[in-house]
Every structure is written in structure tokens, then in C-alpha cells.
Amino acid sequence: MEVLETESLIYRSYGRDFQGICPGSFEAAQAHASWVEQIWGRPQVGDEVRLYASREEPCWPCTSGALACVEERVAHALTVPHRHELTHLVRDRCPSLIEEGFASIYGRYFSYYETVDEIENAITVSDEGALPGTYYGIGGAFVAFLISRDGMESLHQLCDLDIPNTLSLAEGLEEVYQLPLNELIAEFEAAPGKGNAYLKQELACDALEAGAELEVFTSPSAWTMDMGCGAPGVEGGLGQYTMAQRLIELPTDGPYALEMLADHDYRIQVEVRHCERENMASLLYATEFVPLVAEEPRELIFDHLIAGTYVLRVRTDEDSEGNNGPGQGELAVGFSLDSWP
């Protein structure tokens, strides 16, 4: 069994070759774990991550369709970093609606849950055990509302209650927030809201706000991203996917063009998320799949962007043969950003 240790995480392989994992993955996972610990405001709880080659490994404990899970303060995953499960691992457990809601807004990028059903139903279902995925979106919106309303300490108080054994989640909410549940729900439903993609929190934005010296490309600007596994700042794995990001600055409101020029045929997914937030929701978010053809410029037009700082994130989807997860030097993409037209 291979074992790898970072500052606060221990990885153990279960049929998984660590050499196929991009070094940037372990760096990104450690950064995420440290960030969530800081945000949550309590010491990290779990530290072990078990990596599997596939769900067919005999020790795989998660459900048949899952990519990852946390059991008894141990994370089990097929990919690194799995930010959703890392968020569970770092923190102690909360009532399932709160737990999954928090992990969805501090979780995986390019992975979002629709806000479906009513919050009353989600609160009731939370007491029944593991929360179905259909409630993750509304859970994220509700957790963002609670944090925006009363801060993290009140959420700590809620998670410290013996729910659902001694109290129901509904009773716990009334005790902590000192309101009848129907009034708290009315506040939640009246609060301005956006989809779960807008609620996804950004480590890079928080780091920049805290004074970290990070490179920011101000429009008009140009840069090249080596998307190969092994390149600096690239996470993912060979044969799985690769992902990298940049911070960009837009000086004025208006339409912008992002031009891309790749050295290989590859379909990628691009997302931009504004760093400024209101009630934990980014002011603007957009995502698009872009099929790139080698040495042919491809332009992506954003009709109206708000001035400010954004995270621009790129993730590989597949090459011309249906493969994904390029090695170092197998995919470079040049970007240029400018106002349009």
C-alpha cells in the first residue's frame, strides 16, 4: 500500500497508482482542507483519504454510483481533490441538511445541484438519515442564508445539538435562531437568492482579499495555460481530467471576448465566477463547453460582465478520440481577454 502525507492529510492507495495523480491535486487538496478549517473556525477532525482505482475494489465502502464518501472520519474517493468530501472530513458532522448544504457550497467546481422542493420537506427528511442528493441544492442555499444571517457561531451551536436523537432539526433551528420555524423559513424564502453555482465559494478570492500575493491578469491581457498533468497548478489525473485556474480583472462593465488557441484538439469547459459576493452568492457566474481545434482560434463572447475580479477556471472534457486527462506537454491553451467588440 502506498502512503503519502501532506501537511494535514494522509493518503492511502487501494489499487490506485499515485504516479497517475497530478502533483497539483495534493497541493489543491491541502489548500482546500486548510481553508475549510479556517472558515469553519474549529480544528480539523479527520485526516485520512483512501484512494481507489475503481468502485470494483473490494474495500470500496461507498454506494455503487458514488465517486466518493466519508465514513467514520475517513474519506474514500476515486479522484483528488474531492472537495465535497474533504469539506466533510475536515469538520465534525452536522444534521444532514446542514452537513450536505455546507459541503455543496464549499465543494466541487463544475458540479452543481438544482434547488428543488421546499425547505420544509428538506428539514423533515434531514431527520431520517443520509440526505438524498435532490436536497443538496436547497441545503446549500439554506446554509448560505443561515451564515449570512447569523454567522458561523450559530451554525456551530446547531451542529452541537443532539440532532436527530434528542431534538429534531426543526426544534434545533427554533432553539438556536430564537424564531418559530415558519418565521425563519419565511425569512429564507424572502431573501434574494441565486442558483447553487453562484453560491460556490472560492478559495482564491478569499486569499486575495486577505492580502495574498497572487497573479491577476487585467484585461486586455494574454497568457498560456499548460493543462497537462504535472504542470504547475494543474490538478486531476492521467486518464481522468485536468483542471487549472487564473484570476482575471475586468476594469469596466460590458461585453468581453475570451479567445483560445490550443495545440491539440480538445473539448474543455470554462467557468468564470465573480469574487464579490452578496449573501454568499457571487455577483456573476457563467460556464460554457468549448470545442477546441488545434491551431484554430476559438472565441467565447460574454455578453455582459460586471467589473471586478473573477476566477477563470478551465477543465478538460475529452480529446478527439474521447480520452481525457492529458499528460504534461500534451495540451497547452493560449488565452487572450479583451473588451468586445
Nearest CA-CA partner of 113 in 123, 121, 125, 101: 101
Nearest CA-CA partner of 46 in 75, 24, 27, 73: 73
249 pairs with which residues across the strands? Answer: 218, 309
- DSSP track, 137-194: HHHHHHHHHHHHHHHHHHHHHHHHS-TTTTS-HHHHHHHHHTS-HHHHHHHHHHS---
Three-state DSSP class for residue 124: helix
Nearest CA-CA partner of 27 in 50, 43, 47, 6: 6
CATH of domain 3-199: 1.10.390
Q: Which pLDDT belongs to residue 305? A: 98
Look up the pTM and report it.
0.95
- Say whether 203-339 and 3-199 share the same fold: no
Residue 306: CB atoms within 10 Å: 14
Domain positions in the chain are 3-199, 203-339
Task: Per residue of the chain (341 residues), give pLDDT as tens.
Answer: 899 999 999 999 999 989 999 999 999 999 999 999 999 999 999 999 999 999 999 999 998 888 999 999 999 999 999 999 999 999 988 999 999 999 999 999 998 887 777 999 999 999 998 999 999 999 999 999 999 999 999 999 999 999 999 999 999 999 999 999 999 999 999 998 888 899 999 999 999 999 999 999 999 999 999 999 999 999 999 999 999 999 999 999 999 999 999 999 999 999 999 999 999 999 999 999 999 999 999 999 999 999 999 999 999 999 999 999 999 899 999 999 999 99
Q: Which pLDDT belongs to residue 111? A: 86
- Please provide residue 236's backbone torsions phi and psi, each rounded to the nearest 5 degrees: 125, -150
| Angle formed by the axes of helices 181-190 and 136-160, nearest 10° | 140
d(CA 270, CA 298): 13
Which CA distances in Å does 246 have to 95, 119, 224? 35, 36, 10
Task: Mention every residue, 6+ apart, whose C-beta is less than 8 A from residue 138.
Answer: 101, 115, 116, 117, 118, 119, 122
Q: Which pLDDT belongs to residue 181? A: 98
For domain 203-339, which CATH number applies: 2.40.30.170, 2.60.120.380, 3.30.950.10, 3.10.620.30? 2.60.120.380
Cβ atoms of residues 74 and 50 within 8 Å: yes
Q: Which pLDDT belongs to residue 196? A: 87
Handedness of CA 232, 50, 16, 314 (dihedral sign): negative
Calculate Rg over the CA atoms of the chain.
Answer: 21
Q: Which pLDDT belongs to residue 93? A: 86
